Amino acid sequence: MMKENPSAGSPASKPRVGLFVTCLVDLFRPTVGFAAVKLLEDAGCVVEVPTAQSCCGQPAYNSGDRAAARALARQLIAAFEPFDYVVAPSGSCGGMIKHHYPHLFDDDPAWQARAERLSAKTFELVSFLTDVLGVEQVEARYTGVVTYHDSCSGLRELRIKHQPRRLLASVEGLSLREMEEAEVCCGFGGTFCVKYPELSNRMVGEKAARIVASGADTLLAGDMGCLLNMAGKLQREGATVRVRHVAEVLAGMTDVPAIGEPG
Amino acid sequence: MHPTSQTFKANASAALHDAALQRALKNLKSGFPGKRAAAIAKLPEFDALRDAGRDLKNHVLEHLDFYLERFEAQVTAQGGQVHWARDAAEANRIVLDICRAVEARTVTKGKSMVSEEIGLNDFLAANGIEPIETDLGEYIIQLRHEHPSHIIAPAIHLNRDQVADAFHAHHGQYGFTERNENPRALMSEARQVLRQRFLNADVGITGANFCVAETGTTVIVTNEGNGDLTQILPRVHIVLASIEKIAPTLEDVSTFLRLLSRSATGQEITVYTTFSSGPRRPEDVDGPEQFHVVLLDNGRSGMLGGEFQDMLRCIRCSACLNHCPVYGAIGGHAYGWVYPGPMGSVLTPQLIGVDIAGALPNASTFCGRCEDVCPMRIPLPAMMRHWREREFERHLSPAGFRFGLRAWAFFAQRPKLYQSVTRIAARVLRWLGGRNGRIKSLPLAHGWTAWRDLPTPQGQTFQQQWAARQEKRS
Amino acid at A224: M
What lies within 8 Å, CB to CB, of A14 at 6+ separation is: A7, A8, A44, A45, A46
Ordered by start, the domain boundaries in chain A are 11-131, 137-250
Same domain as B270, residue B195 = yes
**Which residue does chain A place closest to B434, by CA atoms?**
A262
User: How far B35 CA sits from the closest chain A CA (Å)?
Assistant: 15
- Identify all chain B residues contacting A25, using CB atoms and an 8 Å cutoff: 462
Tell me the C-alpha distance between A228 and A230, whole Å: 6
Rounded CA separation B262/B39 (Å): 6
* The pLDDT of residue B463 is above 60: yes
pLDDT given for residue B397 in this prediction: 83
CA dist., res. A215 & res. B137, Å (int): 40
Residue B240 shares a structural domain with residue B339: no
Interface check B423 vs A, CB under 8 A: no
Q: Once rounded to an integer, what is the mean pLDDT over residues B178-184?
A: 92
- Does A111 contact chain B (CB < 8 Å)? no
Alpha helices in B204-332 (DSSP H): 226-232, 250-264, 319-322, 325-330
B381 and B438, same structural domain?
A: no
- pLDDT the model gives residue B248: 98
Q: Is A33 on the interface with B (CB under 8 A)?
A: yes
Helix (H, G, I), strand (E, B) or coil at B295: strand
Residue A9 has pLDDT above 50, yes or no: no
Cβ-in-10-Å burial (0-12, 13-18, 19+) of A94 comes to buried
A1 falls in which pLDDT band (50, 70, 90)? Answer: very low
pLDDT tens track for A124-134: 999 999 999 99
pLDDT tens profile B67-117: 999 999 999 999 999 999 999 999 999 999 999 999 999 999 999 999 999
For position B185, what pLDDT does the model report? 92
A63 shares contact with chain B (CB less than 8 Å): yes
Domain with B370, as residue range(s), is 319-393
Q: How confident is the model at residue A3 (pLDDT cuts 50, 70, 90)?
A: very low
Same domain, B416 and B450: yes
- Is the domain of B201 the same as that of B337? no
Convert the pLDDT of each residue in B252-275 to its tens digit: 999 999 999 999 999 999 999 999
Nearest CA in chain A to B327: A199
Query: What does the longest C-alpha to C-alpha distance in chain A come to?
Result: 55
Out of A63, A187, A228, name the one closest to residue B455 (CB). Answer: A228
How close A255 gets to chain B, by Cα (Å)?
13
Interatomic CA distance for residues B403 and B390, integer angstroms: 17
Residue B430 placed within a domain: yes
Residues of B in contact with A260 (CB under 8 A): 437-438, 453, 455-456
Nearest beta carbon to residue A62 from set B385, B409, B411: B385
Do B182 and B256 lie in one domain? The reply is yes
Tell me which of B267, B301, B335 is where a domain ends. B301
Of the partner residues A157, A205, A231, the one whose CB lies closest to the CB of residue B368: A157
Q: Which among B13, B325, B426 has the least Cβ separation from residue A184?
A: B325
Q: What is the amino acid identity at position B186?
A: L
What average pLDDT does the structure give for chain B? 95
The whole-number pLDDT of residue A11 equals 58
> Does B455 contact A259 at a Cβ distance shorter than 8 Å?
yes
| A10 — pLDDT class (breaks 50, 70, 90) | low
Task: Map residue A101 onto helix, strand or coil.
Answer: helix
Q: Which residues contact B91 (CB under 8 A, 6 or more apart)?
A: B85, B114, B118, B120, B240, B294, B296, B298
Q: Do B465 and A30 meet the contact criterion of CB atoms below 8 Å apart?
A: yes
- Of B393, B424, B455, the position where a domain reaches its end is B393
Asked if the structure places residue B306 within a domain, the reply is: no
Cross-chain Cβ contact A49/B463 below 8 Å: yes
Phi, psi of A147 (to 5 degrees): -125, 150
**In this model, does residue B408 exceed pLDDT 70?**
yes
Contact list in B for residue A232 (CB cut-off 8 A) is 438, 448, 452-455
Chain segment B367-380, per-residue pLDDT in tens: 999 999 999 999 99
Do B133 and B159 sit in the same domain of this protein? yes
Kindly report the CATH class assigned to A11-131: alpha beta
| Cross-chain residue pair A189–B364, CB shorter than 8 Å | yes
* Strand ranges (E), chain A: 16-19, 46-48, 85-88, 122-124, 141-148, 172-176, 218-221, 242-245
Least confident of A4-8, A67-71, A119-123: A4-8
Do B126 and B29 lie in a common domain?
yes
- The full DSSP string for B298-333 is TTSGGGTTSTTGGGGG-----HHHHT-HHHHHH-SG
Closest-CA residue to A49 (of B147, B468, B364): B468
pLDDT digits (tens, 9 = 90+) for A173-211: 999 999 999 999 999 999 999 899 999 999 999 999 999
CB-CB neighbors (< 8 A) of B427 in chain A:
none
List chain B residues with CB under 8 Å of A59.
Answer: 405, 408
- Check pLDDT > 70 for residue A40: yes
Ramachandran class of B468: left when φ > 0, alpha when ψ lies in -120 to 50, beta otherwise = alpha
DSSP-derived 3-state class of residue B28: helix
Decide if pLDDT at B435 tops 90.
no
Picking from A198, A207, A242 by the largest number of B CB atoms within 10 A of its own CB, the best residue to mutate is A198
- Report helix angle B64-77 to B46-62, nearest 10: 90
Residues B47 and B143 in one domain: yes
Are B420 and B285 in a shared domain?
no
Half-sphere exposure of B72 (CA within 13 A, CB side): 12
The Cα angle at residue A191 between residues A190 and A194, in degrees rounded to 5: 120
Total domains present in chain B: 3
Residue B310 lies in a domain: no
What are B173-177's contacts with CB under 8 Å, separation 24+? Answer: none
> Chain A within 8 Å of B403 (Cβ-Cβ)?
no
Write down the pLDDT at residue B395.
87
What percent of chain A is predicted at pLDDT more than 90?
A: 94
| Together in a domain, B247 and B323 | no
| Interface contact flag, B419 A54, Cβ < 8 Å | yes
> What is the mean pLDDT of the segment spanning B356-360?
96
Work out the angle at residue B304's Cα, subtended by the Cα atoms of residues B298 and B300, and round it to the nearest 5 degrees: 10
- Is the separation of the CB atoms in A84 and A45 below 8 Å? no
B457 vs A27, A205, A261: nearest CB: A27
Residues B31 and B105 in one domain: yes
CATH of domain A137-250: 3.40.50.11810
Which range has the top average pLDDT, A5-14, A218-227, B187-196, B440-449?
A218-227
Q: Do the domains A137-250 and A11-131 match in fold? A: yes
Answer yes or no: is B312 within a domain.
no
How many percent of chain A have pLDDT more than 70?
Answer: 95
Q: State yes or no: pLDDT of A8 exceeds 50.
A: no
CB of B418 closer than 8 Å to CB of A54:
yes
Of the three residues B248, B270, B301, the one that is the final residue of a domain is B301
Whether B357 maps to a domain, the answer reads yes
